[in-house]
Amino acid sequence: MTPRNRNQLLAVLFVGVLMGALDIAIVGPALPAMQAQFGLDSRDVSWIFSVYVLANLIGTPLMAKLSDFFGRRAIYILDVSLFAIGSLVVASSQGLGLFWVLLLGRAIQGFGAGGIFPVASAVIGDTFPPEKRGGALGLIGAVFGMAFLIGPIIGGVLLGFGWQWLFLINLPIAAVVIGLAWRLLPHTRVAGVGGFDWAGMLTLALALGSLAYGLNEIDTTRFWTSLTSVDVLPWLALSVLAWAALIVIEQRADHPVFPTHLFGRRQLALGYTLTAGAGLGEASLVFIPSLAVVALGVHAAEASYLLLPVVLAMAVGSPLAGRLLDRLGSRTVILTGISVMSLGMLLLSQASESLPAFIGAGVLIGLGMSALLGAPIRYVTLNETTPQERSSAQGLVAVFTSLGQLVGSAVVGAVAASAAGTTAGYDAAFGLIGVLGVMLLAPAVLLKSRLVEQLPAAAREAAGGQPSHA
């Protein structure tokens, strides 16, 4: 593939990922209008997010695996098409006045969006030479920072025409992406002939669904009592049992949707651990506006602007981290990112009542997170897997990131609520994330060095590393 064709391909992947990322960022301005129209309470409103995340978690490994069997192009187009259909269903709920239709549309959106990023990452691994992958993944990773920067602005403009237009705008964009993807994306199958692991997929869905429901039902104002209540504990217990069953099922499956054998490779196991830790840190970003309200005394509407230092730093840091991967290797980039993020979290926990320190901490957190989310962990995954495993392995990155987000939001909320939502409570929560970040340095140190990482598989094996096909 020529450099020009690769750039065109990267542009198609970029727009598709941006469309999915924007949908998360622009929905916030629409929530008050949705809540008023459907007569929802706060717990009902949370399901607009939760059902999307849950469907996204299920869709990620499923679509990643299907792209191995049926080809990247077919599944990427399917993902974008499902996202567009879900957008249309959400918009139609406005005229029907039915909340369940809204949730159905959000579920379809999340299911389709779940495959867009991992399949795009796998396409990059299939078509870009190793020395160009880091930069390409960094560009795709920057999409999320861009989405959270421009999303609220676009949402605010479209909201003037009715909240349904925040979703209808996806339809023409999806049509363009589908047309270009049909022309530019590779369509050859990667995996050999074999059946799909439906037992594993259904068990994974049960594990994720029960975990998401149990966490969503936790009342952070009375955390421990709520945790042991019948609304929470049975669901969390069911999730634990489902995860245990999943391990047994996947060890026997010919084509596992949740490939447990990948955890036998130290580099991948470390990468997935770091991914879950990054998800914990990312979840804490949701609470930065709340901390600004109680610590700095700003209005709730103004508090959201204090996320801009984080978002801008991530937009700058993601492509920078991607370029540095090719020069310095994943271990150096990830260690630096963890250190910078942890420093930012600890600074925020100690000096949140100072506006300059608040902004400085946000910049540090954003720069650090950009070295954990997106390109670096996916770079590790690409180097440690064969083409047949690539998209499934990338799907696991998304799954563990989302799991970290689900657990992180519950933990941070509980710590903050234990002090009745005061500055001290939020300071303690961000301090805890900072400490957990420092703990992530241990697995990061165990990652392969740049020299070993860039050796061919046979040479890595001779040097004491694991071969990428092991």
Residue 467's pLDDT is 44
Lowest-confidence segment of 132-146, 232-246, 302-316 by average pLDDT: 132-146
Q: Cβ distance 268 to 262 under 8 Å?
A: yes
Q: Among residues 301, 230, 215, which one has the least CA distance to residue 43?
A: 215
Residue 421's pLDDT is 61
Residue 470's pLDDT is 35
Residue 459's pLDDT is 47
Lowest-confidence segment of 51-55, 251-255, 299-303, 455-459 by average pLDDT: 455-459
- Could you count the other beta carbons within 10 Å of the beta carbon of residue 467? 15
CA 20 to each of CA 114, 174, 304, 329, 372: distance values in angstroms, whole numbers, following the listed order: 9, 10, 21, 29, 20
pLDDT in tens, 103-151: 999 999 989 988 888 788 778 877 777 767 777 777 776 676 667 667 6
Per-residue pLDDT band for 23 (boundaries 50, 70, 90) equals: confident
- Could you count the other beta carbons within 10 Å of the beta carbon of residue 464? 8
pLDDT in tens, 370-427: 888 767 777 787 778 777 677 667 767 777 877 777 777 767 766 776 666 678 888 8
* Mean pLDDT value across residues 425-440: 89
Per-residue pLDDT band for 159 (boundaries 50, 70, 90) equals: confident
Q: Is the pLDDT of residue 189 over 70?
A: no
CA 309 to each of CA 42, 155, 291, 360: distance values in angstroms, whole numbers, following the listed order: 28, 20, 15, 8
Q: Is the pLDDT of residue 3 over 60?
A: yes
Length of the chain: 470
Give the residue carrying structure tokens 């937009």: 315
* Mean pLDDT value across residues 214-227: 76
- The percent helix, strand, coil of the chain (3-state, each to 5) is 80, 0, 20
DSSP track, 212-259? HHHHHT--GGGHHHHHTSTTTHHHHHHHHHHHHHHHHHHHH-SS-SS-
> What is the C-alpha to C-alpha distance for residues 421 and 439, in angstroms, rounded to an integer?
26
> What is the C-alpha to C-alpha distance for residues 67 and 61, in angstroms, rounded to an integer?
10
DSSP track, 384-446? TS-TTTHHHHHHHHHHHHHHHHHHHHHHHHHHHHTTTT-HHHHHHHHHHHHHHHHHTHHHHHT
> What is the C-alpha to C-alpha distance for residues 55 and 246, in angstroms, rounded to an integer?
18
* Mean pLDDT value across residues 183-197: 68
> What is the C-alpha to C-alpha distance for residues 65 and 394, in angstroms, rounded to an integer?
10
Residue 435's pLDDT is 92
> What is the C-alpha to C-alpha distance for residues 79 and 87, in angstroms, rounded to an integer?
12
Q: Is the pLDDT of residue 287 over 80?
A: no
Among 160-174, 189-203, 249-263, 332-346, name the most confident range: 332-346
Please enumerate in sequence order all residues whose Cβ is within 8 A of that of 161, keeping only pairs 6 or more positions apart, or say none.
Answer: none
Give the residue carrying structure tokens 């609304």: 231
- pLDDT, mean over the chain: 80
Q: Is the pLDDT of residue 309 over 70?
A: yes
Residue 283's pLDDT is 74
Residue 141's pLDDT is 67
3-class secondary-structure state, position 1 = coil
Q: Is the pLDDT of residue 465 over 60?
A: no
pLDDT in tens, 441-451: 999 999 887 77
Q: Cβ distance 363 to 310 under 8 Å?
A: yes
Q: Which sign, positive or negative, has the C-alpha torsion 399, 246, 72, 82?
A: negative
Lowest-confidence segment of 30-39, 197-206, 423-432 by average pLDDT: 30-39
* Mean pLDDT value across residues 360-376: 85
Q: Is the pLDDT of residue 462 over 60?
A: no
466 versus 100: the higher-pLDDT residue is 100
Residue 350's pLDDT is 92
* Mean pLDDT value across residues 288-313: 76
Q: Among residues 114, 216, 101, 73, which one has the least CA distance to residue 167?
A: 101
Q: Cβ distance 343 to 364 under 8 Å?
A: yes
pLDDT in tens, 310-355: 878 887 887 788 788 878 888 898 999 999 999 999 999 998 889 9
Residue 468's pLDDT is 42
419 versus 466: the higher-pLDDT residue is 419
Per-residue pLDDT band for 42 (boundaries 50, 70, 90) equals: low
